[in-house]
Amino acid sequence: MVEAIGMAGMDFIILDLEHGPNDIANLGSLIRACERSEMAPVVRVLRNDQIGRALDIGARAVQIPHIGTAAAAEAAVKAARFAPEGNRGVCRYVRAADHSSADKADYFRRANDITVIAQVEGKEGLENLDSILEVPGVDVIFLGVYDLSQSLGFTGQVERPEVVDALKEVIRKCEAKGIPVGTFVESVETANRYKEMGVHYLCYAVDVGILYEASRSIRQSIR
């Protein structure tokens, strides 16, 4: 499924270790499918101790959920990069270093050229956004609208004005710092609207939801 999505022309896919039925053991095959179809693999981790392992396997971006403070953002950045920018565990016998066949100096030099996506998804994160944006190495802010809707007291109501207003405020603050914004959308209409608002990193739905909707549409169309 990952390979097919890439061949359809998608720019990236989130390989989800938080909610999806994936783990470190099958991540390598999923990343290989991304590479074959020239689609960027983004790994959403469950915990910081998975960040280095995802990068070792070949992820080029990591997305860290539930970032509510500058300290949490800093810890994620440090886990994702080698010194002097971080304290990621050092090993060159990994897939990202071509299983030790890559030039050692070159690997450690280019390994820090990855993308760290801080997922802000609660009132705490919104309140601390200014300080989170000051953390060196945070490349993208992703607003998790579902968890945010829960935090605001409207669980699942991601199109409520309160949620959309929060997204607009995040966009305003991030634009002032030159940091791209991402969020989750479930329709083409919402994607286009949010793109016009200034969202750069548009995450469209989930593979099983896309498959379900397509299957239902086909079945309802056949008489």
The CA distance from 34 to 11, in Å, is 10
Beta strands in 65-139, from DSSP E residues, in sequence order: 115-120
Query: Residue 196: its pLDDT value, please?
Result: 97
CB 55 within 8 A of CB 92: no
Q: How many domains does the chain have?
A: 1
- Alpha carbon dihedral 54, 58, 63, 67, in 10-degree steps, equals 50
In tens digits, the chain (223 residues) has pLDDT values of 999 999 999 999 999 999 999 999 999 999 999 999 999 999 999 999 999 999 999 999 999 999 999 999 999 999 999 999 999 999 999 999 999 999 999 999 999 999 999 999 999 999 999 999 999 999 999 999 999 999 999 999 999 999 999 999 999 999 999 999 999 999 999 999 999 999 999 999 999 999 999 999 999 999 8
Find, among 44, 40, 43, 42, the residue nearest to 10 by Cα. 40
DSSP state at residue 22? -
Tokens of 45: 């981790």
Amino acid at 212: Y
Which one of the listed residues 19, 66, 99, 200 is annotated catalytic? 19
Query: Residue 207: its pLDDT value, please?
Result: 95
Query: Residue 213: its pLDDT value, please?
Result: 95
Q: Which residues contact 138 (CB under 8 A, 6 or more apart)?
A: 73, 77, 116, 118, 132, 179
Query: Residue 64: its pLDDT value, please?
Result: 98
Task: Work out the angle at residue 69's Cα, subtended by the Cα atoms of residues 66 and 74, and round it to the nearest 5 degrees.
Answer: 95
Query: Residue 223: its pLDDT value, please?
Result: 86
The CA distance from 117 to 186, in Å, is 20
The CA distance from 204 to 16, in Å, is 14
Q: Which domain holds residue 99?
A: 2-221
Catalytic (active site) residue 99: no
Tokens of 215: 């299957």
Q: Looking at residue 100, which CATH number applies to its domain?
A: 3.20.20.60
